Amino acid sequence: MNGVLGDVILVNGAPWPVLDVGAGRYRFRILNASNARVYQLALTAGSGPPLTFTQIGTDGGLLAAPVDHPTLQIAPAQRFDVVIDFGQVAVGDTVTMVNQADSGPAGSVMRFRVTQPMHDTTSVPSKLSTPDVVDPATLTTHRSMRFHWGGGSWQINGHDFDPKSSEATVRPGDTELWTISSDFHHPVHLHAAGLQVLTRNGGAPGRWDAGWKDTVLLGPGDEIQVAARFSGYPGRYMLHCHNLEHEDMSMMANFHIV
């Protein structure tokens, strides 16, 4: 039901690797390539306070402005572009990227060893890009996508994946308002589309929802509204839960761009 959770955490193919860094800013692109595990990443320093992630980008590119996060919740298929400033810790110290969502072996991800001083003249600009901001009032087509257990399988809108059926037909460049609801932890992924979270459970978007995404995480009982912009060529595309075991248990559907 949860998907398969392994007991060894790999980063770029290596179990719990160690990376030597200088005492300055580094940019990382973090992709959750686990089949089912949702991480709550944090950075603990050997001595001194924990470091923060300065998020500069997400699935669909740069954010408008950087956002500092003490922790990053990242679901399968999601991406976060971050800057970590190792200049905040002493040379010789270590920084561990931990996963607060688990304990034991899966509670550790990787370690950074700050091995040398670095003449770091970089800074993170306060303005990064000017992404399109969708005005929800302009969205005239509304659809609902319900990600729920169907008694024997994981389903979207009450049915198993059917290669012949379609949940939506849109035109290239269309932007629609989709309400996505969930009974469990489902990272909802659309192919060839950008998603901007407009509301989460009736309130403001969550702290990790900023920017144009293509994968949004819902928890049990969650309901979000997204602006969905379809950028692909005409053809058949998928939407699905990116928990691979849920997807394999038929939580997948077609949509068409015509």
Instruction: Assess 186 for contact with Cu ion (CB under 5 A).
Output: yes
What is the radius of gyration, based on Cα positions, of the chain?
A: 20
Measure the CA–CA gap between 226 and 175, rounded to whole angstroms.
10
Closer to Cu ion at the Cβ: 225 or 250? 250
Considering beta carbons, is residue 2 or 116 the nearer one to Cu ion?
A: 2
Count of residues binding Cu ion (CB under 5 A)? 4
CA gap 51, 170 in Å, rounded: 44
Residue (243 or 254) nearer to Cu ion, CB: 243
Q: Are strands 252-257 and 169-170 parallel, antiparallel or unpaired?
A: parallel
Q: Position of tokens 């068409």? A: 256
Regarding 246 and contact with Cu ion (CB under 5 A), the answer is: yes
Options 32-40, 47-55, 194-202, 235-243: segment touching Cu ion (CB under 5 A): 235-243
88 binds Cu ion (CB under 5 A): no
Pick between residue 37 and residue 246 the one whose CB is nearest to Cu ion: 246
Q: Closest CB to Cu ion among 75 and 227?
A: 75
**3-state DSSP assignment of residue 107:** helix
Q: Which stretch binds Cu ion (CB under 5 A): 67-75, 125-133, 224-232, 237-245?
A: 237-245
> What is the nearest approach in angstroms of Cu ion to the Cβ of residue 35?
11
**Euclidean distance between the first and the last CA atom of the chain, given in angstroms as a whole number:** 35
For residues 200 and 119, give the distance between their C-alpha atoms in angstroms, rounded to a whole number: 42
- When asked if residue 243 is in the footprint of Cu ion (CB under 5 A), the reply is yes
Nearest one of 86, 113, 114, 99 to 40, comparing CA atoms: 99
Q: Which amino acid is at 166?
A: S
* Cα distance between residue 68 and residue 83, in whole Å: 9
Strand partners, 27: 83
Interaction pattern, residues 191-230, with Cu ion; x per rule: CB under 5 A: ----------------------------------------
Task: Verify binding: residue 241, Cu ion, rule CB under 5 A.
Answer: yes
User: Quick one: which segment of 79-87, 101-109, 181-189, 211-219 binds Cu ion (CB under 5 A)?
Assistant: 181-189
Chain positions contacting Cu ion, by CB under 5 A: 186, 241, 243, 246
